[in-house]
Every structure is written in C-alpha cells, then in structure tokens.
Homo-oligomer: A and B are copies of this chain.
Amino acid sequence: MSSNTYNGLEKIVPSTMADMVEVKLREYLKNKPFLPGDALPTEAELAEALGVSRNVLREALSRLRMLGMIESKKKRGMVLTKPDILGSFEKVLDPLIIDKDTLQDIFELRLVLEMGLADLLFLRKTDKDVEELEAIAKAEKYDSGKQFRIKSEIEFHGKLYEMTGNNTLKRFQSMLLPIFGYVVTSLEKKKIAGKVNHLDLVQILKKGTKEDFKEGMYEHLKPHFDRLKEIE
C-alpha cells in the first residue's frame, strides 16, 4: 500500500544521452506497427530524427541488439526481430558473479517450478515422451560417477520440462540448472537422496494421477526442502 502513497511520482534516475535514446527507440518500436522482419530507418535517419550524434545512437542501438530486439542484416540494414526475452538474462546468470542470497533465491525458484510442473505435464505428455524419459532414467543405473550423475540429472529434469511443451520454461530451466548444481554440491557430498527416484517418477507418469506425481516430486526433492527448513 505505501508504494501507492505518492502515486504518479517516480524516482528520478540520472540518465545519459544513450539511456534517453534507448528509451525513445524502444517506445518508437513499440508504438509503430512494426512486425518482426520489417526493415527500420537507417542510422542516419534515426540520428537526425532524434537530434543526436551517430555515436550516441550507435550505443543505444547496440543495447537493443544485445536485448535481441533488432538485428543487422546484410543489404537490408536493421530489422526488427522477435525479441529474445531470456537472452540477456542468461548473460548475468553466472554462479560466480551472483551474490549468495540471489543464488539461494534462484535455487528455490527452481524448486517452485519443479513442484508446479505437474499440471502442464499431465495435460501434454505423450507415450513417446514417457518412453524417452524412462530410457534416460534406466541409463542412470549402470554408472554412478559424479560427472555422469549430474549429466543424467540434467537430462532427466530437462526432458520433464520439455514435456510441458513450453519452450520458454524449458530454456529458463536449462539456464537455472548450473546454479542448481552449484548450490547442490554440498548436499551431493553427503549422498542424500530422496525416497522417490527418477524411475519411480516415470512409473507415476505411466500409471499414476497428477496428484500422485505432485507427491512423488515432493519426495524426490525432499532433501532440498529439508535443507531449507534447517536454514530457517
């Protein structure tokens, strides 16, 4: 509620010319009915329209390029692209440069996603998907080296996300996985495993209900939830 007390007033943030040009360009792209693939005005035209130097304009364009909003094409010049909403997120998602609290937040975020998957999964899973998942889970049994374990962990959970039919979700989780691995290392050392393993989860997908799967996934992740309780 308190955040609404001064409704309409916004924090004043000092901005550089490039910041301002970036904002203007984003508004321009939004309000003009451009479609992905459409050619944009040239640098010279944009610089003149905005009354700024080519250098400042280029800095702003470079940011939009980095955000995946525009692309430079040979012969056609700049075109509008389908923005890559996770692209720049990915760049900063590095366990080595993220502070401890945020790492913990991201770790929990992945637990939340895993626990919330069941509904989409049961809506969209196919027999073929479940077979492929089973093959991944079965392959795990014959080797238990740590490298292999992490790889199959990624393969198994990655496949689950894929089965939701949601590309953004799948990509998001593949970005979160390295971080999950980073936080989990300490647990791995103790070799604590949930009561429900990957093969059990496959069986539930084959014969169980959505509710069974939700319970099963909780048991599978329980060592992590227990660790959260310890931290509290």
Contacts and interface: CB of A to CB of B under 8 A. Distances in A.
Interface stretch (A57-65, A142-150, A200-208): A57-65
Interface string A207-232: 00000001000100000010011001
A163 B147 CA distance: 36
Contacts of A102: 82, 85, 168
Given A124-B232, A214-B214, A111 B105 contact: no
Interface stretch (A39-47, A113-121, A185-193): A113-121
Given A55-B55, A108-B120, A116-B112, A85 B89 contact: yes
A106 interface: yes
A92 B66 contact: no
Given A58-B59, A102-B168, A172-B109, A93 B85 contact: yes
Q: Please report whether the interface of chain A is mostly helix, strand, loop or mixed according to DSSP.
A: helix
Nearest to A222: B119
A59 B63 CA distance: 9
A123 B30 contact: no
A99 interface: yes
A69 interface: yes
B232 A105 contact: no
Contacts of A69: 92, 97
Contacts of A50: none
A30 B83 CA distance: 27
Nearest to A170: B105
Nearest to A29: B97
Nearest to A87: B92
A88 interface: yes
8 contacts: A18-B62, A62-B63, A69-B97, A82-B102, A89-B89, A105-B167, A112-B119, A119-B218
Given A69-B92, A85-B93, 10 more contacts: A18-B62, A62-B63, A66-B66, A83-B92, A85-B98, A108-B120, A108-B166, A109-B166, A115-B118, A116-B116
